[in-house]
Amino acid sequence: MYVIYIMVGLILIHALKKLHLLVESMIHFLIKKKLHILYTSKLKIHNKMYSSNQPFRASSSNMALLLNGKGLHMLNPWHICVDFDMETITISKRNRVLIGVDKKTLAFRFIRSIFVDEHIFGADIHIKVVGGEGSAYYLSKADARKIESLLLEYNRTKKGKGIIFS
């Protein structure tokens, strides 16, 4: 009887080791792929001036998520899209069960404040509008600063009917 328990235990330990190696290799692959995408997208961000008809997109940095102890969010990071034609900010994140996507859309004609909270690794951005607020967490610091500067620059071009800061 005890021999069966020992054999089942050994089989479970072997299966858990294999599962651990599989998960570790998947995380390594995702980090490698995400870092490559981030590196190529950062080159495009810094070398190209954004026009008013092109939305600015950013997502949580896997490195910031990992180094801040939020590694579980690597499968469902925060995404932010600033669309100047529609004058909207869309913040989205895949929900915990990885089935649906939670989206929050804000009209940035009525922004009350923009707050960038910088950490040692990464930054959070909090945007308050009349009637609500939205936050995106663990973005790269450059992306958070870029979103803030794009919104402020857009405000300068809209004389009389732009962002309302109070």
Q: What is the pLDDT of residues 131-152, one digit of tens each?
A: 789 999 999 999 999 999 988 8
Answer yes or no: are the C-beta atoms of 19 and 119 closer than 8 Å. Answer: no
Fold of 50-166: PH-domain like (2.30.29)
How many CB atoms are located within 10 Å of the residue 95 CB? 10
Ranges assigned E (strand) in the chain: 56-59, 78-83, 88-94, 101-107, 111-118, 123-129, 132-139
Domain ranges of the chain: 1-48, 50-166
pLDDT tens digits for 116-135?
999 988 999 999 887 789 99
Q: For a pLDDT cut of 70, what percent of the chain falls above it?
A: 79
Name which of 18, 119, 133 is nearest 70 in CA terms: 119
| 18 CB burial (10 A radius; 0-12, 13-18, 19+) | exposed
Give the torsion sign (CA, 59, 61, 66, 68): negative
